[in-house]
Amino acid sequence: MALINYVTQVQFGDGSIALLQDECTRLGIQRPMIVTDEGICQAGLLDRIQDVLARHATVFDQTPPNPGEGALRAAVALYLEQECDGVIALGGGSPIDLAKGVAVCATHPGPLHQFAVIEGGLARITSATAPVIAIPTTAGTGSEVGRGAILILDDGRKVGVISPHIVPKVAICDPELTLGLPAYMTAATGMDAIAHCMETFMAPAFNPPADGIALDGLRRAWAHIETAVREPSNREARLNMMSASMQGALAFQKGLGCVHSLSHSLGGLNPRLHHGTLNAILLPAVIRFNADADTMVQDDKLARMAQAMGLPVSTDVAMAVHDMTVRLGLPTRLSELDVTSAMFDTIITGALADHSHKTNPVDASVDDYRRMLELSL
């Protein structure tokens, strides 16, 4: 049986940030906490948010890349101390995921690990979860409409906290907030969006709406990512990249696959590794591994992805992804990120335990993962 579910209200377009106070009022949020990071503050984006709000909000601006339990505990303590009643997430995937963690852990007793999906956490997250308004400042993760948060436990595991209750009530997608994003981050987060669209499309679950959304997102991202990197003030490119990012995450409900089980494991091993960069590196090897899966062949998925990318249907899609990564100036080998073969056993153990492992079109074995890592090294 398939579950097809779209629940987030999305305010999309240049200048849509002006609607933030209206959305807070609609949701009954009177004492919001903004979860963001120092880079967002330095860029002046926090000031723009505060200017829109009717009253000064509590701010937690210490979100690290790949946030974990330490940052979550600090943010939850501030939320409770200030008697906040909702969370505004401002930033890329890290602040948005941390905000979702705050929304859960500030309203439910117990440590973070008990809410991880691999620990049976789905059943423990209830409607008591605080409301979240998500405002993305990158075009990559799509976490503003996603049902999950990726957080690192104290024991080093990078886990998914997944529930319909943590889907943001509102996403405010204002492409103007991405105009100042540096070229490298535009490229890395853009390849993250492409990986999301491709991997969720390859996932075997029956969900035609998600397939259509993912393919259209892939079309937009593939056509506009190079322009967004070369011309950072190009509004059309920024709008289409933000849409592609959102669309990839709307399709997440189909599941992901080995790209994400590996990148989640690597991110837990070294939190400084950028998730989108890892996805770009791993995607070609996973596409090749998946190519002969029954669902891939029956639904002609490689040809349909090539068509969405504006390429001949006979194109080597894995090579096309590699070549795009090269053109964007991103690393193409894990070895460029100081990943070594000595780490493979730990990476594979983490990948096998990750929730994304279960929704790949082919059930990957230890040896399969090792070959994918070798091809990506």
Q: What is the CATH class of 9-177?
A: alpha beta
Burial (CB < 10 A; 0-12, 13-18, 19+), residue 123, is exposed
Confidence of residue 5 (pLDDT cuts 50, 70, 90): low
Is residue 21 scored above 60 in pLDDT?
A: yes
Residues of the chain with CATH 1.20.1090.10: 181-376
For the stretch 259-290, pLDDT in tens is 999 999 999 889 889 999 999 999 999 999 99
pLDDT by residue (tens digit) across 146-155? 888 989 999 8
Residue 217 near residue 244 (C-beta atoms within 8 A): yes
DSSP 8-state code for residue 68: B
Q: Where are the beta strands (DSSP E) in the chain?
A: 9-12, 32-35, 58-60, 86-91, 132-136, 148-152, 158-162, 170-173
- Position 268 scores a pLDDT of 86
CB-facing half-sphere around the CA of 26: CA atoms within 13 A: 10
Please write the tens of the pLDDT for every residue from 167-180: 999 999 999 999 98
CA nearest to 355, candidates 94, 116, 2: 116
Whether 1 shows a pLDDT value over 70: the answer reads no
Global pTM reads 0.91
Confidence bin at 156 (pLDDT 50/70/90):
confident
Q: Give per-residue pLDDT as tens, 87-133.
A: 999 999 899 999 999 999 999 999 999 999 889 999 999 999 999 99
Largest Cα span, the chain = 59
Architecture of the domain made up of 181-376: Up-down Bundle (1.20)
Count the Cβ atoms, other than its own, within 10 Å of residue 3: 9
Is residue 303 scored above 90 in pLDDT? yes
Burial 86-102 (b: 16+ CB within 10 A, else e): bbbbbbbbbbbbbbbbb
Residues 280/269, Cβ–Cβ less than 8 Å: no
Percent of the chain with pLDDT over 70: 98
Query: pLDDT averaged over the chain?
Result: 94
Which pLDDT score, from 0 to 100, does residue 146 have? 87
Give the residue from 352, 367, 370 showing the smallest Cα distance to 118.
352
CA Rg, the chain, in Å? 19
Mean pLDDT of 183-194: 96
The pLDDT of 340-345, averaged and rounded, is 96
